[in-house]
Structure 1
Amino acid sequence: MTKSSVSCPVPTEQQPVNEYEQLKSAWLFRDCTAELREYIIRIAWIYALSWLIAGPLSAASFPPHKFIAQFALSAAAGASIGVVLVLVRLYLGWSYVRDRLFSPVIFYEESGWYDGQTWAKPTEILTRDRLIVTYQIQPILRRLQLTFALMFVLYIAGTIVWQII
């Protein structure tokens, strides 16, 4: 990012563009910015790790040697909970930064929770921040929304299969 000629009273770590850069480089959040193939692989890893918890729980309710279909469906549904929790965390984090970047006024704390201030962004900074939202963050949020939609479709499909068996 280029330095602005406008003086900003907001502490560096609370400036929305710096919050964006920090989030973009955080280990879990940077997965959303990866190529589609890498993103899918990382979501699949989260799903596989969730199976370590969901599998034994499902096996306790549906012994695999007697009820293989019920075991597989309930373990798959249980494992998807881990994925959904991670996706919710990702969505909330990116939404928070999007809202801070898009807002024309920024709330910030000078030294603690008791002395909050607001700062109106100059047009130059507001334009830059909104471009970041449009071209960087919105595609990430769309990807997360599509992932949620796919998870929902898979859940419905699993429910239909459960009713059939």
Structure 2
Amino acid sequence: MFSKKSNCPVPFDQQPLNEYLALKESLLFSWSVSPNNSFIFGFLFIFIVLLVFFSIFIALFSNINNVSQFFSLDLLFSNCVIFLLFIRLYLGWSYIIKRLMSATVFYEESGWYDGQVWIKTSDYLIQDRLVCLYQLIPFIVRIKYSCISLFFNFFFIYLFDYIF
């Protein structure tokens, strides 16, 4: 699945296309590029597990007697963790998008002290940009919409807590 480019001076692990393929195979990021049904069910599964974990944690270590406060605090903690998860996904994919869309690639030959810059040829640039536009941009848009929905969820939790 990884591609070795013969006329590319960039080390194998630092080539943008190989970085994309490696990130796509990791556990957290593979979930974010899965089909919509799998993405939604994974999101709901993580949300429910966090909801149960934080409800047990809040019940053991706090003395909240009001049920509405208990549920709103539980939802708030769960949403914060999910929001941080989506921020991590967004930052990871945006780094790869920047590397794929750029006409130059910064790489390190043997250590931090000897960095080089390689200018992509037109073949590599076209291939990387097509991969970015047609495979990565839809997933990063989906992550943005998920973050927006979590923001509205924060608003509804605050409204629920304010009313009750």
Query: TM-score if structure 2 supplies the norm length?
Result: 0.91
Q: What corresponds to 2:92 in structure 1? A: 93
TM-aligned CA distance change 1:157 to 1:30, over 3 Å: same
State the 1:80 CA deviation. Answer: 1.1
- Aligned runs of 1:36-51 on 2, under 5 Å? 36-51=36-51
C-alpha distance in structure 1 between counterparts of 2:58 and 2:27, whole Å: 30
Q: 1:71 and 1:5 mapped to 2: Cα distance?
A: 56
- Paired residues in the alignment total 163
Number of the residue aligned with 1:22: 22
Task: Tell me, in whole angstroms, the C-alpha distance in 1 between the residues paired with 2:84 and 2:101.
Answer: 26
Specify every segment of 5 or more residues in structure 2 that has no aligned partner in the other structure, as ranges.
none
- Comparing 48-57 with 152-161, greater Cα deviation is found at 48-57
Match in the other structure for 1:73: 72
Identity of aligned residues (%): 34
Pairing 1:80-159 to 2, within 5 Å after superposition: 80-159=79-158
8 Å CA contact retained: 2:32, 2:139 = yes
The 1:14–1:5 alpha-carbon spacing in structure 2 relative to 1, beyond 3 Å, is closer
Unmatched tracts of structure 1, length 5 or more: none
Question: What letter matches 1:10 in structure 2?
Answer: V
Shift in CA distance, 50/2, structure 1 to aligned 2, threshold 3 Å: closer
Q: Which residue matches 2:13? A: 13
The 2-side partners of 1:73 and 1:13 are apart by 45
Deviates more, 1:96-105 or 1:42-51: 42-51
CA contact (8 A) 2:24 2:33 kept: yes
Name the TM-score, length of structure 1 as normaliser. Answer: 0.91
Which residue of the partner structure matches residue 162 of structure 1?
A: 161
**Is the Cα contact below 8 Å between 1:57 and 1:75 reproduced in 2?**
no
